[in-house]
Amino acid sequence: MFIGDFCKLTSTTPKTIRFYEEQGLLPPARRQGSYRVYDDTYVETVRQIKLAQAHGFTLSELKEIFRGKDIRRGLPPLVILNAVKEKRQFIASEISRLNEIDKGLAVLQKKMKMSPCMLDSSLKDKV
């Protein structure tokens, strides 16, 4: 299929598709004269890229994940699954770190409310 039909199926634009190709997220399309020709594999690949973006992956991350991998027949499932596993581990770590920061802020807030510097009782109700 030509790029116009391909874009309709993937809810993208020709500019996006060309950008994905330039970034190595899509393999170069076959050519029919000066026209790019895509098959159904590429439709699924673009859907996977968009889904990964919707769930927190940046295009730079995806580019790095697939660097050196054979993506001519789509994104390798094991590569995707490993990337998702690593991303989830990172997020779990960040959640833990942010929870510790939040606990520390709660302690600081409590100390500040009890501080002699908080002489004006109207301030205590606002924080």
Q: Report H helices in the chain.
A: 3-10, 14-23, 40-54, 59-66, 77-114, 121-124
- Are 83 and 51 in the same domain? no
Q: State the Cα–Cα distance between residues 105 and 41, nearest whole angstrom.
A: 50
pLDDT tens sequence across 39-86: 888 999 999 999 999 999 999 999 999 888 888 888 888 999 999 999
- Are 2 and 61 in the same domain? yes
- Are 70 and 85 in the same domain? no
- Are 98 and 70 in the same domain? no
Domain housing 70: 1-75
Q: State the Cα–Cα distance between residues 113 and 96, nearest whole angstrom.
A: 26
| Residue 120: band (very low, low, confident or very high) from pLDDT cuts 50, 70, 90 | low
- Are 54 and 96 in the same domain? no
